[in-house]
Every structure is written in structure tokens, then in C-alpha cells.
């Protein structure tokens, strides 16, 4: 039986990081190794797939930008449309991996597997986690079934939906978790084992698109805190289209801030209420009429969904519908 064709799109990150010593786990340079160097440490990948790849960028993922998102989405969409590509693996730094993965989960339309992978230790470290992570990502991408679940992250033996996943630790290898809704599967003996599926729209079911888009609408995230000022009134004159508020508890905010937001909303600002807490859904309440609820999305993911929804419509009810569907 012929091996599947897996294409690796390398974006740098810790998995391609180099440090001065093998004991250095934090003072490394991310993205210093090429994809060819990374693959040399994992010769076993060639047992599971025919591998090709490209160096899309070589960055620390803290330098990921919306412009790179647009270019990456276009490139992955192009690769997914090729007959000689059966699955795609994206190597990426972990700091913003959950955001990039979710962006592609909404903006790339394909039934082929798209698997994100990275590492928490640089390639030069003692007990580096990158090689096994990359091997398991290729193994997952080699199975056509993986594409049914949208964009996924394979790290530390687990499979996470791009919608559910969060980075939960600054340095430990067991950092990516789906705290609220659980892992969708595990990697075991070289095979992905799936136990649940995300029901919200993604990839091949998504009607959101950034095709032909030169720039995403400007959306900012504001973190609620004691003493928060009424500076929000200045956002609309600065060209900001939307605001995601990481509010207290169930998406709440100080009364003065709400007064300021109401004025900005009359001028066209679209407001999404999310939460700064570690779990739970934000749902409609009469007190904050006119705002959109982030459901279970983290503030940073709510921002992405709002940006893509704003590319499609400025109708508040249609945007509300997107937050119920995606």
C-alpha cells in the first residue's frame, strides 16, 4: 500500500529552537533550525509517509502576525487543493499556536487533515519533546479520518481540537489542554484514537473566508480589572471595528465602562463579552443588551471569530449567529 503524501509547513518556534547548552530550556533562539534539520532528528517519519515541506517562516511565535495568518491560510488552502497532498502538518511555536490553529480551523476549507505541532523544549535540549511530537503529528496527518475533526493540535500524546485547546503552562511539556470540553483523542502505537468530535462548524463546513483579504478588521481585546477607566470611547475614532472584553465572571464589567461602551456601540463598535475566568460560557443577559456573547471561546479566539465574521457582515444578528455556530 502506497504511503500518504504529507506536506510540512514550517513556521519556526521552539521545535526549531537552538540553545547554547543542552541544559538550557528557556534561553534558546526559536526558529533557528531549518525544517530539514528538524526532520533529521526524526528519521522514523519516512516509515509513515512521503514527506515534503517548506520553510514558510522562521520566527518565535510571539512574532506571529495577522499578515502571516492570511498568507499561511492561503498557502494551506492551496496545498489542500492539490492531488499530491494527503495531509498537512504545520510546525509552529506554542505561544500563539492555539490562535493560528483556530484561525485556520475557520478560514481553511478542506476535509484533509491539518495538524499543528510544536514543542516546549528546544531541539538542542536534553529529552527534547519535539521529535516525538513531530512523529505523532505526521502519523495523525497520515490518517484521512483526522480531517473529519477540523484543525487539530497533536502534542504530548494528545489530540486537541483547535476550538477547545488552550496553552496552560509556561514551560512544562504537558501544556496544551482542553480544560472545558476535553481532548478529542490520543495518539497510541502510531495511530490517532478519537473519542469525541467538535460539533461547531469548522474547515469544510465553514462559510467564513479570508480569501483575497489584504488585512483583517481591527479588533482589540480589553482585560477587565478593578479601576478600569473609560478609555474605550477613544477606540472608534482610531478605526477599531470590534472589541472583545475579557470581563469579570460571566462577562461583566464596571458600570462606567458599560456606559462608555454603549456610546461606542451607537457609533458602530461591535462588542463581544468573553470572560477572564478559566472556564464556563458567557451567555446573554438583559443588562448588556446589544453585546455578543463569546460562548466558551477564550478572549483571543473570540477576537479571531469576530474578525472573520466582520469580513462577511456588519449585521449584529448575523455575527451573533456565527458565535452560536462556530
Please identify every residue annotated as catalytic: 14
> CB atoms < 10 A from the CB of 280, how many?
13
Q: How far apart are CA 28 and CA 37, in angstroms?
A: 16
In angstroms, rounded to a whole number, what is the distance separating the alpha carbons of residues 153 and 150?
Answer: 10
Amino acid at each position: 500500500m502506497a504511503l500518504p503524501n504529507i506536506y510540512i509547513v514550517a513556521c519556526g518556534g521552539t521545535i526549531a529552537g537552538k540553545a547554547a547548552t543542552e541544559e538550557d530550556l528557556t534561553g534558546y533562539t526559536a526558529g533557528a533550525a531549518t525544517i530539514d534539520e528538524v526532520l533529521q532528528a526524526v528519521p522514523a517519519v519516512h516509515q509513515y509517509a512521503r514527506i515534503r515541506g517548506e520553510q514558510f517562516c522562521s520566527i518565535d511565535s510571539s512574532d506571529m502576525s495577522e499578515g502571516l495568518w492570511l498568507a499561511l491560510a492561503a498557502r494551506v488552502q492551496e496545498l489542500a487543493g492539490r492531488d499530491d497532498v494527503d495531509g498537512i502538518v504545520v510546525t509552529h511555536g506554542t505561544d500563539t499556536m492555539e490562535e493560528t490553529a483556530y484561525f485556520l480551523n475557520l478560514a481553511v476549507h478542506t476535509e484533509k487533515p491539518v495538524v499543528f505541532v510544536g514543542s516546549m523544549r528546544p531541539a538542542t535540549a536534553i529529552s527534547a519533546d519535539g521529535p516525538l511530537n513531530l512523529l505523532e503529528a505526521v502519523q495523525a496527518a497520515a490518517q484521512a479520518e483526522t480531517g473529519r475533526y477540523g484543525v487539530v493540535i497533536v502534542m504530548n500524546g494528545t489530540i486537541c481540537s483547535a476550538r477547545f485547546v488552550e496553552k496552560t503552562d509556561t514551560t512544562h511539556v504537558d501544556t496544551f489542554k482542553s480544560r472545558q470540553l476535553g481532548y478529542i483523542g490520543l495518539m497510541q502505537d502510531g495511530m490517532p484514537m478519537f473519542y469525541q468530535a467538535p460539533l461547531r462548524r469548522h474547515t469544510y463546513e465553514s462559510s467564513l473566508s479570508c480569501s483575497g483579504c489584504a488585512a483583517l478588521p481591527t479588533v482589540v481585546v480589553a482585560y477587565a480589572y478593578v479601576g478600569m477607566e473609560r478609555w474605550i470611547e477613544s477606540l472608534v475614532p482610531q478605526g477599531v471595528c470590534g472589541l472583545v472584553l475579557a470581563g469579570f465572571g460571566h462577562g461583566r464589567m464596571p458600570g462606567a465602562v458599560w456606559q462608555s461602551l454603549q456610546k461606542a456601540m451607537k457609533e458602530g463598535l461591535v462588542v463581544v463579552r468573553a470572560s477572564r475566568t478559566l472556564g464556563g460560557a458567557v451567555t446573554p443577559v438583559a443588562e448588556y443588551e446589544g453585546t455578543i456573547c463569546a460562548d466558551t471561546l477564550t478572549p483571543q479566539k473570540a477576537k479571531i471569530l469576530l474578525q472573520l465574521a466582520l469580513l462577511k457582515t456588519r449585521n449584529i444578528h448575523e455575527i451573533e449567529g456565527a458565535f452560536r455556530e462556530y
